[in-house]
Chain A
Amino acid sequence: MTQGVQVAGRRGTLQKMVRQRQLYMMLLPALASVAIFTYAPLFGWWMAFSDYKLGKPIFDAPWAGLKYFIEFFTDTAGAGHVILNTVVMNVSALVLGLVCALAFAIFLKEVRWKWFRRFVQSASFFPYFMSWVIIYAVIYALFSNDGAVNASLQSLGLIDKSINILGNPKTSWGLIITVDVWNILGYNSVMFIAAIAGIPDEQYEAARIDGATRFHEMWHVTLPNLIPTMIVLLILGSGSIFNSYLDQFFIFTNTLNISTMEVFDYYIYRFGLKLGNFSYATAVGVIKTLISLVLLVGVNWLSRKATDQSLF
């Protein structure tokens, strides 16, 4: 009887899939893309456990075990500052980015002129699409020793000597965090703006009836409704804490600021790809991925424990 129900259940699922075949076909390209570009390359992790030589088939490489993983962790001079820089800059950019986007979305909601609100929202999204080369060119023009900022400050007599923001290890973290927050503000705020649009009007009406001012509405209605969105974005972002835009750090890193600017991805590029040491680069990449996975699961669990909300 049970088996009959199971067979009937399976037939039902199959029939449902056939009825919804167009939906599944629409899903196919995305699944294929994920399979080809995200999961298929995982076979390349073999390089991390073998002595891969350039130009030879990957699976012909002799077994090396955990040699390259151990090499990374014993190279404390290389690993220490890389991990610190990556974590500090990415965590700060993540938290600050979300907080700024939240505030931006909330304040934008309060703008009465529709056309101005739309213009600001569109303009805030623009930096997300800019190439890092263009961004650096703008920042160089502004903040280099001969840039507009230094020239203005010197002409106003506020400083005697130009401030080397692009080459100062003390300003690296601040520079990258600021640029990242500016870059991602529009993108993150879209999530919050969408969430705000989904807040029922009745809540605001009820608040107004109770005598709430606009600030009270913001604090007691808008903000609490955005917390779930914030948590989801935080959990998703925590999985990317060890990921950085290589092109961003490739351009911003120089010999003056490398001690505080070098991140994981740039380290992998320098000591892996540039030197043709693909096995070592892959091993470091695997370490990065595993740590990111642990972080993602951990933050998700913490969120479930603390707020009863989680991604999975």
Chain B
Amino acid sequence: MKNHRLLRMLALTLTVIMLIPTFATVANAQAGDEEYVIQLLVSSSQTHTRSDETSIGKYIKDKFNIVFEYLPVNDDSEKQSLMLATGDYPEIIRLEGGDMVQDYIDADAILCLDDYIASSTNFKTRYAEQIPYWRASSKDGKIYTWQRYVPSDLTNAPEILDIGTRTDILEQQAWPNLVSEDDWFNYLQKAMQDNPETNGQKTVGMVLPLAESWGPSLLTEFCEKGGETNDQGTNDAVVWNQVEQKWVPTWTLPAVVDSYRFFNRLYKAGILDPDCFTDTYDQVQEKINSGRALSVWYCTWMATSANATLVSNGNSNMQYINMPIRSNAQVKAGLKREIRVETTRPFDSYAITKNAKDPDRLFAFLDWALSDEGQILLQSGIEGKHYTIVDGKRTPTEEYINGVLTNPNYSSDEGFDLASFFGSCKQGDAQGIAFNLQAAPAYYDEIFLSDRQKEAYKNLGWSNSLSYWTDTSELAPTGLAATCILDPDSNEGKLDEKFKAWIAVAATKLVTADDFDATWAELNQEYEAMNVGTIVDKYNEILATNQEHYNQYVTTTP
């Protein structure tokens, strides 16, 4: 009897304990709190749980009483499908690619923004160039999303992603001016011989995160280094020819074949890290942070973030700089490089979902964020703390410069880009200074390159860190290219998915082949059997259709 009574009391106590948080939550909600907490899915590397833990986030909270709560995820793209299937999506969602956006539109999960845009102040002016493109690629001509990192103009230094390499190795070899694939092969081969170990660990010649889902597309990047094409669309069967303004097949492009051949050469010589096929982003970042990697292909932002770590570890002489590469054929041809400038960027689309508690308030906040004031706050920071005004121009403070150069977590800690849906427009203010001070050509080298990096470029004979590219390239706005979206349910869409699965394996076989030409011939037969030409034709058909739609919308006010 006594035991039964004790048991009943225990059960009752446990039940009450479990119910207390529920009542507390309900009580809080019922108190009429105006703070608007918006849950955002973010990268798992985000170090904060709420935006008001950062100085910029606190400013936003004080001004708008809006706070972002971060939910870290590893694979955003997979989550997007699952969230749509369950109806459990956050108020603001990032959608990767036009097909995912269309799925959400078809499911009536995201709001049409046309009415909001018509009455907006900053949205329609900020995206005046993009709006006709967005309408052109939309099935019903309406706008449901906006995109990050657009628009771009010359106030922002172009993004160049070639090879990041250690400056101590460049110094060791008397500052060679590396450009061609032969230059790089010889340089890395000698570097491996002279530096078998780095800080007690085996040195690797070149790293890249091929285990990531986007990894295999890195192996085709010669297509953007010089010639008529840039790397718009090389995840697929097609690549964009900027000069002819049309889509062409990726696999048979000479620059792509040269790209695979280059990596095969590196692999056979033991320069390419043999673990690159199994290394994820974090594992590659670790190798760069430790300085073990002599070079990193394309992912030069990883080298930039590693520099702060190398400085803090006392290895500042190992800092990486970005240097160019072209295939031997491209060097011989001497054609200008078409530097992709994204007019639209469907890969980074954002939408307000039907689950938004207060979509009017959300859009009003977004509209403010797209103003010059908003973009400056979110990309440059707080006046007096992160920048000051000198001769009417925004100038970074010592605190900001030191933070960026020495603390790899500085941007995250301060709240820069605390929510990616703010657009992060690559533009500048009325004085011509980029919203993001790190991208402003006026400060790019003088302030944001470390002494070591400046020394390296000076020894290479460059006038600034971008001089090679500014002399040999031209800007190539993508225009309608990114608006071409294949319907995944169409025959071409299904074939495109099969092709993506095939090319990831084919690329690996080519890079690791003992006989590159024989392997290429064998794979080429498989490629021809797939009849990928239908995909190319479909893309060009979509391009023509979108061009017609664009012509209709381009003179229409938002």
Residue of A nearest to B526 (CB): A77
| Complex: A274 Cα to B505 Cα, angstroms | 18
Q: Contacts A55-B103, A275-B497; is A145 near B505 (CB within 8 Å)?
A: no
Those of A237-270 within 8 Å (CB) of chain B: 254-256, 258-259, 270
Q: Say yes or no for A271: interface residue by CB 8 A criterion.
A: yes
Query: Nearest B residue to A276 by beta-carbon distance?
Result: B81
Q: How many residues of chain B are within 8 Å of chain A by beta carbon?
A: 35
Q: Is A56 an interface residue (CB 8 A)?
A: yes
A166 on the B face (CB < 8 A):
yes
Q: Given that A273-B78, A274-B77 are known contacts, is A55 also in contact with B104, CB under 8 Å in the complex?
A: yes
CB nearest to A280 among chain B residues: B494
Contact A271 B497 (CB under 8 A): yes
Contact, CB under 8 Å: B81 / A258: no
CA of A275 to CA of B77, assembled, Å:
9
A146 close to B (CB within 8 Å): yes
Within the assembled complex, what's the spacing in Å between the Cα atoms of A219 and B42?
60
Query: Of B106, B109, B277, B507, which one neighbours A254 at CB under 8 angstroms?
Result: B277
On whether the beta carbons of B275 and A145 are closer than 8 Å, the reply is yes
Q: Which of A140, A145, A259 has the most CB of B within 10 A?
A: A145
How distant is the Cα of A254 from the Cα of B283 in the complex, in angstroms?
14
**Given A54-B107, A146-B202, A274-B78: A256 and B508 interface contact (C-beta under 8 Å):** yes
B210, CB-defined interface residue at 8 Å:
yes
Asked if B85 and A256 sit within 8 Å, CB to CB, the answer is no
- Asked if B178 is an interface residue, CB under 8 A from chain A, the answer is no
B82 at the interface (CB under 8 A from A): yes
Contacts of A54 in B (CB 8 A): 81, 84-85, 103, 107
Q: List A80-111 residues whose CB lies under 8 Å from chain B.
A: none
A146 CB, nearest partner CB in chain B, Å: 6
B553, chain A: closest CB distance, angstroms: 27
Interface string of A156-199 (1 = CB under 8 A from B): 00000110101100000000000000000000000000000000
B216 within 8 Å of A (CB atoms): yes
Shortest distance between the CB of A159 and any CB in chain B (Å): 13
**What's the tally of chain A residues with a CB closer than 8 Å to chain B?**
27
Is the beta-carbon distance between B78 and A146 smaller than 8 angstroms? no
Residues of chain B contacted by A161 (CB below 8 angstroms): 270
Given that A255-B508, A276-B81, A276-B488 are known contacts, is A53 also in contact with B106, CB under 8 Å in the complex? yes
A132 within 8 A of B: no
The docked-state distance in angstroms from the alpha carbon of A259 to that of B505 is: 9
Interface residues in A121-156 by Cβ distance below 8 A to B read 140, 144-146
Nearest-neighbour CB distance to chain B for A237, whole angstroms, equals 30
Inter-subunit contact A256/B275 (CB<8 Å) = no
Q: How many residue pairs at the A-B interface have CB separations less than 8 Å?
A: 76
Q: Which residues of chain B are within 8 angstroms of A144 by Cβ–Cβ distance?
A: 275, 278
A277 — which chain B residues lie within 8 A by C-beta? 488
Across the interface, A55 reaches (CB within 8 A) one of B107, B277, B497, B512, namely: B107
Task: Name the A residues within 8 Å of B81 (CB-CB).
Answer: 54, 273-276
A164 to B511, CA, bound (A): 15
Task: Select which of A145, A255, A258, A276 is within 8 A of B274 by beta carbon.
Answer: A145
Residues of B within 8 A of A164 (CB): 274
Residue B108 lies at the interface, judged by CB distance under 8 Å to chain A: yes
How far does the Cβ of A300 sit from chain B's closest Cβ, in whole Å? 36
> Which one, B103, B108, B512, contacts A276 given CB within 8 A?
B103
For A258, the chain B residues whose CB sits under 8 A away are 504-505
B104 CB contacts on chain A under 8 angstroms: 55
Establish whether residues A53 and B103, one from each chain, have CB atoms under 8 Å apart when the complex forms: yes
A162, B103: Cβ atoms closer than 8 Å: no
Cα–Cα, bound, A144→B106 (Å):
45
Query: Which A residue's beta carbon lies closest to that of B508?
Result: A255
Q: Provide the residues of chain B in CB contact with A275, threshold 8 Å.
A: 81, 488, 497
CA distance A167 to B512 in the complex (A): 11
**In the complex, B87 has a CB within 8 A of chain A:** yes
Smallest CB separation, A278 vs chain B (Å):
7
What residues of B have a CB within 8 angstroms of the CB of A256 in the complex?
277-278, 508, 512
Contact residues in B for A145 (Cβ distance below 8 Å): 273-275
In the complex, what's the smallest C-beta–C-beta distance from B294 to chain A, in angstroms?
Answer: 15
- Residue B501 at the A interface, CB < 8 A? yes
Interface residues in A26-67 by Cβ distance below 8 A to B read 53-56
Q: Interface on B for A, CB 8 Å cutoff?
A: 77-78, 81-82, 84-85, 87, 100, 103-104, 106-109, 201-202, 210-211, 215-216, 270, 273-275, 277-278, 488, 497-498, 501, 504-505, 507-508, 512
Could you give 25 example pairs across A and B, Cβ below 8 Å? A53-B103, A54-B81, A54-B84, A55-B104, A55-B106, A55-B108, A55-B109, A56-B107, A145-B274, A145-B275, A162-B274, A167-B275, A167-B277, A254-B210, A254-B277, A255-B277, A255-B508, A256-B277, A256-B512, A258-B504, A270-B501, A273-B82, A274-B78, A276-B84, A276-B100
Nearest first, the 4 A-B pairs at minimum CB distance are A55-B107, A255-B508, A276-B81, A54-B84
